[in-house]
Amino acid sequence: MNTRTVGVIGGMGPAATVHFMGRVLALTPAASDQDHLHLIVDNNSGVLDRNAAVAGSGPSPAPVLVAMARGLQRAGAEMLVMPCNTAHAFAGAIVAASDLPFVDLIEAASDEAVSHKASRVGVLAADGCLQAGLYQHAFARRHVAPVLLEPRAQARFMALLYAIKAGDLGPDVRWGMKALAQELVDAGAEALVAGCTEVPLVLGSEDVSVPLTDSLDALARATIAAASRTP
């Protein structure tokens, strides 16, 4: 095969990684097993809490993420991706410690969000992702203003996130997420980024009135493009 083997630094959360793999499959033109990309996936549920680490209330997951990147390379990976927005606060450590190309989720999602010509883009993202300024920084370089939830709404968002991680994909969680997306639109967002891998599990484009960028789908497309490029 003329494609690169993709190493997936996963487990944040485990369901989001499985969803990402499914999206890579669905977005790959393939007629047989052999037409699909070769993915090696470390779906490591033991990665320390990213939000606590960014907030300074918990130890950094960077050493574990670097060890996973090295393990994936030893297992045969030729490029790396990480289907977790907040963990990209530690992407620099991975890039510094590995000589493999790293396809950045925040860059992929931001590129897709600005393609909708919006000047104000709403972001549904976890506390750690926002505190680390990942989307704010990527948007600034693209001359786009971020629209964020107000503190109490952001707290509701985090509660929904942990409910999804615990396996609750029920109607209450779906309605709650839809209401938060609407708050961003009401605050002036002309496009939205589902900037946390759990969000697309309960929110689709049919639930919002403005273009919605699914950060996992953006990464899946960028992954397929990068893996298909001749090394």
Residues that bind its own copies (CB under 8 A): 1, 11-15, 17-18, 21-22, 25-26, 30-47, 49, 71-72, 74-76, 162, 165-167
Of 38 and 178, the one with the shorter C-beta distance to its own copies is 38
Of 107 and 127, the one with the shorter C-beta distance to its own copies is 127
Minimum distance of its own copies from residue 154's CB (angstroms): 20
The candidate with the shortest Cα–Cα distance to 195, out of 141, 228, 144, 146, is 146
Minimum distance of its own copies from residue 200's CB (angstroms): 15
Please tell me which residue in 196, 199, 210, 212 is annotated as part of the active site: 196
What SS3 class is residue 99? coil
The candidate with the shortest Cα–Cα distance to 201, out of 174, 230, 162, 172, is 174
Of 21 and 105, the one with the shorter C-beta distance to its own copies is 21
Please report, for residues 58, 190, 196, 198, the alpha-carbon distance to residue 12 in angstroms, rounded to integers and kept in the order given.
16, 29, 10, 9
Cβ distance 129 to 86 under 8 Å?
yes
The candidate with the shortest Cα–Cα distance to 185, out of 133, 120, 135, 231, is 120
Q: Is 129 annotated as catalytic? A: no
> Can you tell me the distance from the alpha carbon of 157 to that of 109, in angstroms, rounded to the nearest whole number?
20
Minimum distance of its own copies from residue 133's CB (angstroms): 23
Cβ distance 207 to 7 under 8 Å?
no
Of 71 and 211, the one with the shorter C-beta distance to its own copies is 71
Q: How buried is residue 82: exposed, middle or buried, by Cβ count under 10 Å (0-12/13-18/19+)?
A: buried
Minimum distance of its own copies from residue 68's CB (angstroms): 9
Minimum distance of its own copies from residue 41's CB (angstroms): 4
Of 38 and 116, the one with the shorter C-beta distance to its own copies is 38
Neighbouring residues of 89: CB distance < 8 A, sequence distance ≥ 6 = 50, 53, 54, 128, 129, 132, 134
Please tell me which residue in 84, 125, 199, 227 is annotated as part of the active site: 84
What residues act catalytically?
Answer: 84, 196
